[in-house]
Amino acid sequence: MSDRESLDVDILIVGGGPAGLSAAIRLAQLQKAVGTTLSVAVLEKAAEPGAHLLSGAVLDPRALGELMPDFAAKGAPLASQVREDRTYYLTQSGKIKFPITPPPLRNHGNYIISLQQFGRWLSGFAEAEGIDMFPGFAATELLMDGHRVVGVRTGDRGVDRHGQPRPTYEPGVDIRAKVTILADGVRGNLTKQLVRRSSIAVGNQPQLFAIGIKELWDVPAGRLPTGTVMHTLGYPLDQREFGGGFIYAMSETRLSVGFVVGLDYEDPLFDPHVAFQHFKRHPLIADLLASGQMVRYGAKALPEGGWLTLPECAVDGALIVGDAAGFLNSLRLKGIHLAMKTGMLAAETAFEAVVAGDTSEPRLAGFDERIRQSWVAAELRPVQHVHQAFKYGLFGGMAFAGLQLLTKGWWIRQAVASTPGHERMHRRDAAGHRHATPELKPDRVLTFDKLTNVHFSGTRHEEDQPSHLLVHTEVCHSICGHEYGYPCIRFCPANVYEIVPAPDGPRLQINASNCVHCKTCDIMDPYQVITWVPPEGGGGPRYEGM
C-alpha cells in the first residue's frame, strides 16, 4: 500500500522484555561511552511496558549486576532476597521434604521479583537514556531482502472482524533497521518466521517447551516468611510428566503460586490448568492459601530445550536473543539472567557492526562467539540434555540430571535425542500412557475455572478485529474429536478454544479476545494447525505485579 509510513533506524529491538530492554540499555551505555549517536527503537506489543511479562520469578542478579552495578541504588524493584529454599515431593495428600535442596535449586543471593514490575522499571530506565520506546505496537512481519532481514512491519490498526477497514483504520508502519534484534519471547512470531524461512535451526534438536500458570495471592501474614522459595515435584503430575509447582513469598502477605508442566505430556485429556487447581488443593498449598484471595492470574510458555536446541542466533541483519532463541536453564528454572545477558551481548555485537558499517552475517556471527566465550555457555552446556532426559520419567530424569552435573554435560548425543513435544501426545485410540486430569468443580475461592481466571489477567483486546489465532479448522471438525478429543480446550489456559454444539456437529469456537499470549496453542496442537499472530497492538493481558 502506497500510504504506508516507514521509519529508518540504526538498531531495532522487537520485544520489550528483559532481553530486549537489556539490549536497549546496553546500547545507550555504548553510545555514551564512545560518543556516537545511533537511533535505537524498541517495539512492544503490550499497551504498557511490562504488561505482557510473566515469570515466577526468581532472578539471578548476575547479568543485572553487569548491566547496572548500582542496581540497588537505582531502585530496582526486587521484592525480596531469597532467604530459604524448600523442596518437596508431593503425593496426593502427603509430602516429603527433601533433606537438602538440590544444588541447582539453591537460590542464595537471588531475588524474588515481579517480572512485570522489573520490566517496567527497565523500560523507564531505557527511555530516560534516550531509547525510543513504542509500546502498543506489534511487529507482525519480517521485512526481508533476499536472505537479509531489513526490518519489520507493524500490524494494521482498525481492521474489523471481517478484515475490512473500520473508520479508525491505519496501516502498519515499515520500520527498517541496519540490525534487528529479535527479542520477541518464547515462540516469538518473528523468530518463528525466520526459522521457517532460513536454515538457522536445521539439524537442531527440536525446541521443547513448558507452560507456566500462575496466580498471585494475598494471604494473612504469618503463612510463609518473606523470601521463602518452595518448589514441588510429583502430584498432580505422574512420573511421565515433566514439571512441578512453586510458591514464592514476595512479602509477608503476597504469594506467587504457580505450576509448570512440560508441553510434552502424552495424554490429550491432560489439562494443565485443571492440574494447577488440583495442585492448589493439596494440603501443603491449600493451608498456605486458606482464607486468602486470588488477585491476579496469568500464563506463559517457556522454552526448556536448552543449549542443543538453540538456533544460529546471528543472520544477515538480525540477532536472536532471550527466550526467542531459547536461552533458559531448565534445571535451575531460570532464564531472566540469560535473556538479559544475551541481550547485552547482542547489543555489543550490533553496536560494533553498525559503527563499522558492516551488518552482514559474518560480522554479526561474532554474537555466537561472544555467547560461547561468556558464562551463558558455561552455565547452559553442562545441563544441555536435562529436559530431554525426562522422557525417561521423573526419576530417570533426576538421576540423569545429577549425572550430567558430574560429567559437565558430556553425553552421547543420540542417547537423548528428542522429538517435538506435540508429537508425544497419544491418540485416544492408540495404546500409550494415560493420565487424564480428573474433573474438578471450581469452588471459586481456592479453585477457579479458566474464564474466571482470565478475568484476573486483565486481558483486553479490541473486540472488532480478525481472530489472531489462525486455525485450519478442517481437522477440528473432522478427525480431532475422535483422535485427540479436542486437546486445545484443555491446553489453552484462557478458555480461548471451545467446542460448541451446532446442527452439523461440534464446532470450534475461538474466543480470541480471551488470549493471554502464552503461545501454548501454537506449540502444543498435535496437528500444528494453529498459528498465533499478534492481535492489534496494545491488546492482551495487563499483568500487574506478575
> Which residues are at the interface with other proteins (CB under 8 A)?
167, 295, 441, 444, 451-452, 454-456, 458, 460-461, 463-464, 500, 509, 511, 513, 544
Q: What's the CA gap between 525 and 33, in Å, rounded?
A: 48
Rounded to a whole number of angstroms, the minimum distance from the CB of residue 442 to other proteins is 10
Would you say 349 or 513 has its CB closer to other proteins? Answer: 513
Beta strands in 225-380 (DSSP E): 228-234, 243-249, 254-262, 293-303, 314-315, 318-320
3-state SS assignment for residue 179: strand
Q: What's the CA gap between 4 and 43, in Å, rounded?
A: 17
Angle between the N-to-C axes of helices 18-34 and 115-128, in degrees from 0 to 180, rounded to the nearest 10: 20
Secondary structure letter of residue 415 according to DSSP: G
Rounded to a whole number of angstroms, the minimum distance from the CB of residue 527 to other proteins is 24
Rounded to a whole number of angstroms, the minimum distance from the CB of residue 509 to other proteins is 7
| Burial profile 456-488: b = 16 or more Cβ within 10 angstroms, e = fewer | bbbbebbeebbebbebeeebbeeebbebbbbbb
Rounded to a whole number of angstroms, the minimum distance from the CB of residue 472 to other proteins is 20
Would you say 108 or 444 has its CB closer to other proteins? Answer: 444
Q: CB of 90 within 8 A of CB of 246? A: no
Residue in this structure with the C-alpha cell 552475517, named with its chain if needed: 361
Q: Grid coordinates representing 47?
A: 499497551
Would you say 101 or 467 has its CB closer to other proteins? Answer: 467
Would you say 460 or 482 has its CB closer to other proteins? Answer: 460
Rounded to a whole number of angstroms, the minimum distance from the CB of residue 57 to other proteins is 20
Would you say 350 or 496 has its CB closer to other proteins? Answer: 496
Would you say 409 or 458 has its CB closer to other proteins? Answer: 458
* Cα four-point dihedral sign 46, 122, 22, 258: negative
Would you say 185 or 540 has its CB closer to other proteins? Answer: 540
Would you say 140 or 459 has its CB closer to other proteins? Answer: 459
Rounded to a whole number of angstroms, the minimum distance from the CB of residue 452 to other proteins is 5
Rounded to a whole number of angstroms, the minimum distance from the CB of residue 447 to other proteins is 14
Would you say 8 or 443 has its CB closer to other proteins? Answer: 443
Q: Are strands 6-14 and 40-44 parallel, antiparallel or unpaired?
A: parallel
Q: What's the CA gap between 215 and 236, in Å, rounded?
A: 17
Rounded to a whole number of angstroms, the minimum distance from the CB of residue 461 to other proteins is 8
Secondary structure letter of residue 540 according to DSSP: B
CB atoms within 10 A of CB 124: 15
Q: What's the CA gap between 486 and 183, in Å, rounded?
A: 32
Q: Grid coordinates representing 382?
A: 553442562
Would you say 146 or 167 has its CB closer to other proteins? Answer: 167
Q: What's the CA gap between 283 and 289, in Å, rounded?
A: 10
What one-letter code names the amino acid at 194?
L
Would you say 62 or 166 has its CB closer to other proteins? Answer: 166
Rounded to a whole number of angstroms, the minimum distance from the CB of residue 216 to other proteins is 11
Looking at the DSSP bridge assignments, the partners of residue 460 are: 540
Q: What's the CA gap between 472 and 479, in Å, rounded?
A: 13
* 532 closest CA partner among 481, 484, 497: 497
Rounded to a whole number of angstroms, the minimum distance from the CB of residue 280 to other proteins is 18
Q: Which residues, in sequence order, are CB contacts of 399 under 8 Å at separation 6+?
A: none
Rounded to a whole number of angstroms, the minimum distance from the CB of residue 114 to other proteins is 15
